[in-house]
Amino acid sequence: YEEIAAVYLKSEGYEMIQHNFQCKLGEIDIIARKDGYLRFIEVKYRSNKRSGFPQEAVNYQKQRKICKAASYYMMKNRYSMDTPCCFDVVAILENEIQLFENAFEYCD
């Protein structure tokens, strides 16, 4: 579903940088650029609503892991900590894709 999300994001003007970044602090599904922002993107899929909406799975604990992994990615790749960045979520429910730009703020 990350590939489906990547194709969708490209059609929305995102420039892909990396897929499936992993480190000991967590993982980031997609890293991209758009509108001058470095974007860290979480992709969630659900085949139906029984378990809730996919975006609901990106809870505070998951957000913290993404933030920590994003900080590590920026340090490892020598981005300035002043680099504008944001956290987006791509929710895929059955065959419907929904993009939540700036879905949450950086969390310590």
The pLDDT assigned to 108 comes to: 61
The angle at the Cα of 98, spanning 94 to 104, to the nearest 5 degrees, equals 125
Q: Which helix (H) or strand (E) holds 88?
A: strand 85-93
Q: What is the pLDDT of residues 7-16, one digit of tens each?
A: 999 999 999 9
The neighbouring-strand residues paired with 64 are none
pLDDT tens digits for range 14-68? 999 999 999 999 999 999 999 999 999 999 999 998 889 999 999 999 999 999 9
Q: pLDDT band at 6, cuts 50/70/90?
A: very high
* pTM tops 0.85: yes
